[in-house]
Amino acid sequence: MIYTVFSTTDSPYMQWQSELLEYSWKKVGQPGDLIRLVSTDDPDSVPQHKYARTVATRQWKIHPFTGDDYAPYNKPSSLVEWIYRERPN
């Protein structure tokens, strides 16, 4: 299985960008699954897509041990959470 995985927050700006990526992914006929990892504090309200599957993950922009505020922490933590939870091939 081929996975195209990308991570975002639940902001309206990221929603617009995700819809454009989904359109491009479908238009070129990319095989496999398109997975959007959404870092959010409200997992019940993650946006849905026509082709991409959305997966809610925990916010990690504030590091739990050091306390630094750094939004890029969400990317690796979302990926690890998704891999651990779903165990993709």
Tens digit of each residue's pLDDT (9 = 90 or more) over 4-56? 999 999 999 999 999 999 999 999 999 999 999 999 989 998 999 999 999 99
3-class SS of residue 89: coil
pLDDT recorded at residue 63: 78
pTM equals 0.88
pLDDT exceeds cutoff 90 at 85? yes
Strands across the sheet containing 33-39: 3-9, 33-39, 53-57
CA angle 60, 40, 73 (to 5 degrees): 25
Query: If residue 55 lies in a helix (H) or strand (E), which one and from where to where?
Result: strand 53-57
Q: Rounded CA gap, 51 and 63, in Å?
A: 32
Question: Which residues, listed in sequence order, are joined to residue 54 by a DSSP beta bridge?
Answer: 36
